[in-house]
């Protein structure tokens, strides 16, 4: 099992962000982590990437407790940018290449070229969408076992969105899994194996996309709108 969570809880003061989350994720899958704003998607991803520690419960990746060893095999795309703005794209690439032994500069330059991003440009002068593309390229250029992508397509235009999804499909290997958190469900539904619905910090559904369509006769997007109707 690639990800194992057992009774994870996370509280911020009196606020409960995650409540008794238990889930297993196997290798070789693309999983959508879906939930409305404030449902705990980012908190769960941050715990898995080792940025937050759970208040109680256990999380294992490839059987290892979260720490240095799991950071080597987890590639994480945060929802906010963390790269230094004064850096050029080229500097950011070499920064990643210094940091991660599984990073491929060649893959990164290849994708940058496909998206017409000039490696000499500074992040500071880029549009928000372009900066997001650069970050996703950096994250996907690692040969990781688990990719945790927090809202990877929120800020980019639909054409680039398609390219990014193709990039995700083309770059993950058969023994890697990709967890994508998003609320743009209909855009990514066709690439997902499984979906996890999360509501008020609890997992309410963990199912394959095919099962949902078979059982409910509707798309994940339609089911989401039903389950989370305001």
- Under the binding rule (CB under 8 A), the answer on residue 165 touching other proteins is yes
Backbone dihedral region of 23: left (phi > 0), alpha (psi from -120 to 50 degrees) or beta? beta
- Under the binding rule (CB under 8 A), the answer on residue 190 touching other proteins is yes
CA dihedral 139, 142, 147, 150 (to 10 degrees): 0
205 DSSP β-pair partners: 197
- For other proteins, the binding residue among 16, 202, 213, 227 (CB under 8 A) is 213
Distances (CA, A) of 64 to 3, 33, 58, 67: 9, 22, 10, 8
Interface with other proteins by CB under 8 A: which range of 49-57, 105-113, 136-144, 210-218? 210-218
Residues 1-30 that bind other proteins (CB under 8 A): 28-30
Beta strands in 74-150 (DSSP E): 74-77, 146-150
Backbone dihedral region of 165: left (phi > 0), alpha (psi from -120 to 50 degrees) or beta? alpha
- For other proteins, the binding residue among 193, 202, 205, 207 (CB under 8 A) is 193
Least distance in angstroms from the C-beta of 9 to other proteins: 32
Least distance in angstroms from the C-beta of 176 to other proteins: 12
- How far apart CA 34 and CA 28 sit, in angstroms, is 19
Least distance in angstroms from the C-beta of 184 to other proteins: 14
Comparing CA positions, the residue from 205, 198, 193 lying closest to residue 30 is 193
The encoded tokens of residue 98 equal 């210094």
- For other proteins, the binding residue among 64, 124, 128, 166 (CB under 8 A) is 166
Question: What would you report as the CA-atom Rg of the chain, rounded to the nearest whole angstrom?
Answer: 17
Least distance in angstroms from the C-beta of 27 to other proteins: 11
Comparing CA positions, the residue from 38, 36, 39, 70 lying closest to residue 53 is 70
Tell the residue number behind the tokens 């309410």, with chain if given: 204
Do 65 and 13 meet the contact criterion of CB atoms below 8 Å apart?
no
Least distance in angstroms from the C-beta of 175 to other proteins: 12
Least distance in angstroms from the C-beta of 111 to other proteins: 14
Least distance in angstroms from the C-beta of 149 to other proteins: 15
Count the residues of the shown chain that bind other proteins, applying the rule CB under 8 A: 24
- For other proteins, the binding residue among 21, 136, 180, 192 (CB under 8 A) is 192
- Under the binding rule (CB under 8 A), the answer on residue 47 touching other proteins is no
- Under the binding rule (CB under 8 A), the answer on residue 143 touching other proteins is no
- In the complex, the residues that contact other proteins under the rule CB under 8 A are 28-30, 162, 165-166, 169-170, 174, 186, 189-193, 209-210, 213-214, 217-219, 221-222
């Amino acid at each position: 099992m690639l990800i194992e969570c057992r009774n994870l809880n996370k509280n911020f003061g009196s606020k409960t962000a995650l409540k008794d989350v238990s889930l297993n994720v196997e290798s070789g899958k693309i999983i959508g982590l879906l939930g409305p704003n404030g449902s705990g998607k980012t908190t769960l991803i941050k715990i898995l990437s080792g940025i937050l520690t759970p208040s109680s419960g256990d999380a294992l990746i490839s059987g290892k407790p979260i720490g240095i060893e799991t950071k080597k095999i987890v590639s994480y795309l945060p929802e906010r940018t963390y790269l230094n703005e004064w850096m050029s794209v080229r500097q950011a690439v070499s920064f990643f290449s210094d940091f991660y032994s599984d990073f491929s500069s060649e893959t990164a330059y290849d994708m940058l070229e496909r998206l017409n991003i000039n490696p000499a440009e500074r992040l500071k002068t880029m549009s928000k969408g372009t900066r997001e593309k650069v970050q996703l390229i950096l994250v996907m250029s690692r040969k990781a076992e688990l990719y945790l992508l927090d809202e990877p397509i929120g800020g980019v235009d639909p054409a680039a969105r398609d390219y990014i999804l193709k990039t995700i499909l083309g770059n993950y290997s058969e023994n890697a899994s990709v967890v994508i958190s998003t609320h743009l469900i209909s855009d990514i539904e066709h690439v997902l194996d499984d979906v996890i619905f999360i509501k008020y910090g609890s997992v309410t559904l963990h199912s394959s996309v095919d099962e949902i369509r078979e059982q409910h006769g509707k798309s994940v997007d339609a089911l989401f709108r039903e389950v989370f109707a305001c």
